[in-house]
Amino acid sequence: MSIQKIMVKSDFARKANQEGGVSFKDAVQQAERAIAELEPEYGIWSRDYLVELDAVLGDVMIRDVFDKEKLDQAYDIVSRARNLGSTFEQPMVTEVSERFCELLYRMIDLEIFHAAATKSISDALKLVSSQPEFDKAPSEKFASFLGELDMVVNLFPPVGVPNAGSESQSQAVH
Tell me the CATH number at 70: 1.20.120
Q: Is residue 137 part of a domain?
A: yes
Contact 101, 131 (CB under 8 A): no
Number of domains present in the structure of the chain:
1
Contact 32, 40 (CB under 8 A): no
Q: Is residue 168 part of a domain?
A: yes
Q: Is residue 166 part of a domain?
A: yes
Q: Is residue 99 part of a domain?
A: yes
* C-alpha dihedral (86, 87, 93, 98), degrees to nearest 10: -40
Buried b (16+ CB within 10 A) or exposed e, 44-60: eebeebbebbeebbeeb
Q: Is residue 33 part of a domain?
A: no
Q: Is residue 20 part of a domain?
A: no
Per-residue pLDDT of the chain (174 residues; tens, 9 = 90+): 667 666 666 766 666 666 666 777 877 788 778 777 777 777 788 889 999 999 999 989 999 999 999 999 999 999 999 999 888 888 899 999 999 999 999 999 999 999 999 999 999 999 998 876 666 666 777 888 899 999 999 999 998 866 554 444 444 444
State the first-to-last Cα distance of the chain, in angstroms, to the nearest integer: 66
52 alpha-carbon distance from chain centroid? 15
Q: Is residue 1 part of a domain?
A: no
Question: At a CB cut-off of 8 Å and minimum separation 6, what does 93 contact?
Answer: 46, 81, 82, 84, 85, 125, 128, 129
Residue 93 has phi, psi (to 5 degrees) of -60, -45
Question: At a CB cut-off of 8 Å and minimum separation 6, what does 74 contact?
Answer: 53, 56, 57, 104
Helix count (H) and strand count (E) of the chain?
Answer: 8, 0
Q: Is residue 13 part of a domain?
A: no
- pTM recorded for the entire structure: 0.74
Find the domain containing 157 and state its range.
Answer: 41-173
